[in-house]
Amino acid sequence: MLIVPRGSPSSSKPGHVTLDGVTSEVSPKDRFVTVYGRKPVLEALADYDLRVDKVIVAEGLRGGPIAEIEEAAADRAVKVQRASAHRVKVLAGNGRHDQGVVADVVARKMRPLVDALADPATAPRTILLLDGLTTPANVGMILRTATASGIDGIVVPHRGVAGLDPLVIKASAGVAFHAPVLRTRTAAEAAELLTDAGYPLYALDADSEHNLYDTDFGDRAVFVLGSETAGLSAEVEERIAQPLSIPMANGVESLNVASAAAVLCFELRRRMSR
């Protein structure tokens, strides 16, 4: 079986327009990628292609590495704030590896899914939806592949999917900062928004009689990538319009979800270039 697989800077106005025209505040998690750990934070500050909004250091933390981070932040006019060690752990979302330091990096192409769908004229045409993918390496590789192949949007829900942390960033070779990530609370919420907006949802299934290469997806479509162990969540699976198979040879039954995503993404790229 092939498994089918923080608010904006102070200079900009908080809020976004939802599909029904109601304005609501944008979560910082829909604007920033939070990097934690002394080396990852220092690397982010050293990368002038990235915009670092702020650095937060645990109160009382001193020493050479912290001084180096503060100096690097000063060189870029990035504000450094102090907070309790508990607050830093909460912001990092990782109690063991934050090392008392976090940084908010602006992800320029990341936005809420409702914002992306608000105007049908500019809405993404090809979208990946991640459902239950909890392995950071897989999420990172999918972000890199999807971005490289020109996919318009990758829905990475806040719940049920590996967070955009240093492990995902490393697996994406830094592409996670620049990927066209679309945020929702859950994959089920994303599936509902997308089907209501008229997108058909496809999922990969080795037993499907419908072949990836022979299927016409129309002008816009969503491709759901689910957990290799649990498959798709029930709420998402019930909205799948059609399962698709990738032809396999030599008795191989399935691919890793990141490998399957690569096959899918570059088939879509091939079609775009025709």
CATH number of the domain where residue 150 is located: 3.40.1280.10
Distance CA 23, CA 15 (A): 6
Distance CA 220, CA 199 (A): 6
Residue entry with tokens 């025209």: 21
Mean pLDDT of the chain: 89
H-helix or E-strand containing 108?
A: none
The amino acid that residue 76 corresponds to is: R
Supply φ then ψ for residue 162, to 5 degrees.
-55, 135
- Same domain membership, residue 144 and residue 90: no
- Same domain membership, residue 77 and residue 162: no
Residue 35, exposed/middle/buried by CB under 10 A (0-12, 13-18, 19+)?
A: buried
Alpha helices in 159-217 (DSSP H): 166-171, 187-196
- Same domain membership, residue 182 and residue 99: no
Name the nearest CA neighbour of 72 among 83, 64, 82: 64
Q: Which tokens belong to 136?
A: 């950071």
CA 128, chain centre distance (Å)? 10
Q: Which tokens belong to 249?
A: 């040879």
Distance CA 197, CA 178 (A): 25
DSSP H helix total and E strand total for the chain: 9, 13
Supply φ then ψ for residue 13, to 5 degrees.
-85, 130
> What's the whole-model pTM score?
0.86
Q: Which tokens belong to 176?
A: 């996670």
Distance CA 32, CA 177 (A): 9
- Same domain membership, residue 229 and residue 98: no
Is the pLDDT at 8 greater than 80? The verdict is: no
Q: Evaluate whether residue 26 is within a structural domain.
A: no
Which of 76, 106, 136 terminates a domain? The answer is 106
The amino acid that residue 26 corresponds to is: V
- Same domain membership, residue 121 and residue 100: no
- Same domain membership, residue 115 and residue 72: no
pLDDT tens digits, 259-273: 999 999 999 999 988
Q: Evaluate whether residue 155 is within a structural domain.
A: yes
Which of 59, 76, 106 terminates a domain? The answer is 106
- Same domain membership, residue 144 and residue 70: no
Q: What is the pLDDT of residue 261?
A: 96
Is the pLDDT at 5 greater than 90? The verdict is: no
Higher pLDDT, 13 or 106: 106
- Same domain membership, residue 262 and residue 148: yes
pLDDT tens digits, 215-227: 999 889 999 999 8
- Count of structural domains within the chain: 2
Cα→Cα distances 110→42, 219, 241, Å: 22, 23, 27
Is the pLDDT at 25 greater than 70? The verdict is: no
pLDDT tens digits, 29-55: 788 999 999 999 999 999 999 999 999
- Same domain membership, residue 135 and residue 101: no
Is the pLDDT at 95 greater than 80? The verdict is: no
Mean pLDDT calculated for residue range 193-199: 97
Which of 87, 106, 125 terminates a domain? The answer is 106
Q: What is the pLDDT of residue 11?
A: 35
Is the pLDDT at 10 greater than 80? The verdict is: no
Q: What is the CATH number of the domain that holds 62?
A: 3.30.1330.30
Q: Which tokens belong to 152?
A: 């318009």
The count of other CB atoms within 10 Å of the CB of residue 115 is: 17
Distance CA 208, CA 66 (A): 55
- Same domain membership, residue 182 and residue 127: yes
Mean pLDDT calculated for residue range 60-78: 95
Mean pLDDT calculated for residue range 10-21: 44
pLDDT tens digits, 55-67: 999 999 999 999 9
Instruction: State the residue range of the domain holding 115.
Output: 111-272
